[in-house]
Amino acid sequence: MATDPFALFETWFAQAQESEPNDPDAMALATSTPDGRPSVRIVLMRLRGPEGFGFFTNLESRKGEEIAANRAAALCIHWKSLRKQVRAEGVLQPVTEADADAYFTSRSRDSRIGAWASDQSRPLDQRETFLGRIKQATARFGEGDVPRPPHWSGFRLVPERIEFWEDREFRLHHRRLFTRTDEGWSEGLLFP
């Protein structure tokens, strides 16, 4: 078999872009604390390719702190409309400053302001406090550029394993597992 998993991913992702009603790039990202307590949340896949699957975040958030303590992670992308999913396991690597800057500047102005105003994942006494911080950040930057905050960047999950799962009738699913080797990728099948 020995197919390139990223070529297969691009084929499936193109199908998902046509069929998913919302966010075909949404993925569940699982991280864990240093003592192994798991944590999972949905993030948006903003980078993809042979270097891995990338997303951006506040480095001071719970997610950012977990990643700083333990780079092992897993992700799952489920496309209900296609009855397919992709799972990957590997290590999270920081994106380049250029990648972080490029993605940050592509975001809406309100999203960039929000990155400055939010202490992501930390307790908030009331919604008005956050709205006040948005007003302060908006006034601070006026009509000018909103630069990327120093606490905002991204990561790529560099996969060691990638599994492609396809739903089949009577739960006789089709599962393909790609495992990274020194020479590239090996491929095999898994029982459903």
At residue 3, the pLDDT reads: 79
Which among 81, 65, 7 has a CA at the least distance from the CA of 33?
A: 65
Q: What are the residue boundaries of the structural domains of the chain, listed by start? A: 5-108+151-190
Category of 76 on φ-ψ map: left (φ > 0), alpha (ψ -120 to 50) or beta: beta
At residue 34, the pLDDT reads: 87
At residue 45, the pLDDT reads: 98
The amino acid at residue 142 is G
Reported in sequence order, the residue ranges of the chain that DSSP labels E, i.e. its strands, are 26-32, 38-44, 53-58, 72-79, 84-94, 152-166, 174-181, 184-190
Return d(Cα 26, Cα 43) in angstroms, integer. 6
**Going by CATH, does the domain composed of 5-108+151-190 fall within 2.30.110.10?**
yes
Place of tokens 């009603």: 21
Among 112, 171, 175, 180, the active-site one is 171
Strand partners, 155: 55, 94
- What's the pTM? 0.93
At residue 80, the pLDDT reads: 96
List the chain residues with pLDDT less than 70: 1-2
How confident is the model over 153-187, as pLDDT tens digits?
999 999 999 999 999 999 899 999 999 999 899 99
H helices of 60-153, in order, are: 62-69, 97-106, 109-117, 127-141
At residue 2, the pLDDT reads: 54
Return d(Cα 30, Cα 73) in angstroms, integer. 6
Say whether 171 is catalytic.
yes
